[in-house]
Structure 1
Amino acid sequence: MSITQFMPNGTLHLYRDDLPEGLTLGPVVAVDTETMGLHPHRDRLCLVQMSGGDGHAHMVQLIPAERGGRGFDCPNLKRLMSDQGVIKLMHFARFDVAALQYSLGISVSPVKCTKIASKLIRTFTDRHGLKDLCKELLGIELSKQQQSSDWGAMELSSDQLGYAASDVLHLHALWAKLEAILTREDRLALAEACFGFLPTRARLDLLGYEDPDLFAH
């Protein structure tokens, strides 16, 4: 099943259970997830959003087998998320990588994170959320009204889908801005080292080393 919906800032494509065969999204894919909560062991993964930076958002809704879906039987999605030749561009990748690794049973890499990039170079502010970055760096206002809605519903609303799509449609442009500043401030190599550690940081979180933090005193 697939649904196409046109929006003012792009086009979204919704699939159930997996990406279609043969779909390629390019060498850098923006990725975000929607879950039932903030604990991967308890709160299931419901939706994975992706964009190749071309104005199209591709979303996979993962339906539990007991409700007629295939659960996490999604070989095409798993292949893309674990493809070492495709960079996964995320905002707060620590959470999304953990959710994907736990639910899909794969290692998600390589990864870049716009939130880490922002924290490394925008030390003059504590506003590093995606909404703040899009407004300040791209002049784009994002609505976060659907952030806490029920992502486990069988039928997602147009507002939910629009919100989910907006979280990936602007990441390529945002990364271009942040990468330029990282380069200017000579912190790109430091950022890349942080990005390389993210899959391990996610594994530590899943093993319970989030609280207390393994790196705390």
Structure 2
Amino acid sequence: MTVTLHRNDLPADFEITGNSLAVDCETMGLNLQRDRLCLIQLSTGDGTAHLVQFSDGYEAPRLKSLLADTAVTKLFHFGRFDIAAIERYLGIACTPVYCTKIASKLVRTFTDRHGLKDLCADLLNVSISKQQQSSDWGAEELSEEQLRYAASDVLYLHALRARLDDMLAREGRLDLAQACFDFLPHRARLDLAGWDEVDIFAH
């Protein structure tokens, strides 16, 4: 694992290989209107993670350009929250997207364990720690434990996608999954607009 921390934006020479990018966010809490975005983690699935820490606003033109690039699929785990946080604080629509949690719920119907830790253990035989999940991400200096935790949230998403896509294809649910992924940015926008606790499709 190689983890590189950047301040406020990606460096000018940052490039990705391939057409997919794992993405995750760390915030001060789970209230999108109150709890600011502190960190965005990125990985191309090659064992490296790049972390962008926000301490001086959200200009970040290079990061924004990458996340808004429609030629790059952004991979998330529980993308609904991260996509909303990115739109709320960076002001961009993050598309196209893929969500390993949605994929798991669609195809792993034999279990209710769809957390990232569970998926890594069940599908990749990888153990990850969630100890730093509730730590202070607004701190000026992040600890080594926080950096490793943040990196682990993106390092395995490409491998998980491959395993989940095989299962979705086997069960004939790839098209259904894609329709859910296409809707996900709209679901995030509904959260931002105040419909976070309301199912508008309910009777």
Q: TM-score, normalised by structure 2?
A: 0.98
> Residue 15 of structure 1 aligns to which amino acid in structure 2?
H
Do the aligned partners of 1:40 and 1:103 also contact (CA within 8 Å) in 2?
no
- Classify the secondary structure of the residue corresponding to 2:189: helix
Deviations 1:150-194 (A, max 9, x none): 000000000000000001001111111000000111101110010
Out of 53, 57, 75, the position equivalent to 2:49 is 57
Out of 73, 86, 91, the position equivalent to 1:87 is 73
**Sequence identity of aligned pairs in percent?**
62
Kindly report the root-mean-square deviation, in angstroms, between the aligned alpha carbons of the 2 structures. 0.7
Structure 2 regions of 5+ residues with no counterpart? Answer: none
* Cα distance, 1:24 vs structure 2: 1.5
5 Å-filtered alignment, 1:178-193, equals: 178-193=164-179
* Cα distance, 1:46 vs structure 2: 0.2
CA distance in structure 2 between the partners assigned to 1:125 and 1:109 by the alignment:
29
* Cα distance, 1:209 vs structure 2: 0.8
Residue 17 of structure 1 pairs with residue 4 of structure 2:
no
> Which residue number in structure 2 is paired with residue 75 of structure 1?
61
> Residue 52 of structure 1 aligns to which amino acid in structure 2?
T
> Which residue number in structure 2 is paired with residue 156 of structure 1?
142
Q: Which runs of 4+ in 1 moved over 2 A?
A: none
* Cα distance, 1:205 vs structure 2: 0.6
CA distance in structure 2 between the partners assigned to 1:29 and 1:22 by the alignment:
17
> Which residue number in structure 1 is paired with residue 105 of structure 2?
119
CA distance in structure 2 between the partners assigned to 1:89 and 1:50 by the alignment:
9
- Classify the secondary structure of the residue corresponding to 1:120: helix
CA distance in structure 2 between the partners assigned to 1:137 and 1:23 by the alignment:
31
> Which residue number in structure 2 is paired with residue 43 of structure 1?
35
> Residue 201 of structure 1 aligns to which amino acid in structure 2?
R
> Which residue number in structure 1 is paired with residue 94 of structure 2?
108
CA distance in structure 1 between the partners assigned to 2:166 and 2:193 by the alignment:
35
Do the aligned partners of 1:32 and 1:49 also contact (CA within 8 Å) in 2?
yes
Aligned length, in residue pairs: 202
> Which residue number in structure 1 is paired with residue 23 of structure 2?
31
Do the aligned partners of 1:30 and 1:52 also contact (CA within 8 Å) in 2?
yes
* Cα distance, 1:216 vs structure 2: 2.4
Residue 203 of structure 1 pairs with residue 194 of structure 2:
no
Q: TM-score, normalised by structure 1?
A: 0.92
> Which residue number in structure 1 is paired with residue 123 of structure 2?
137
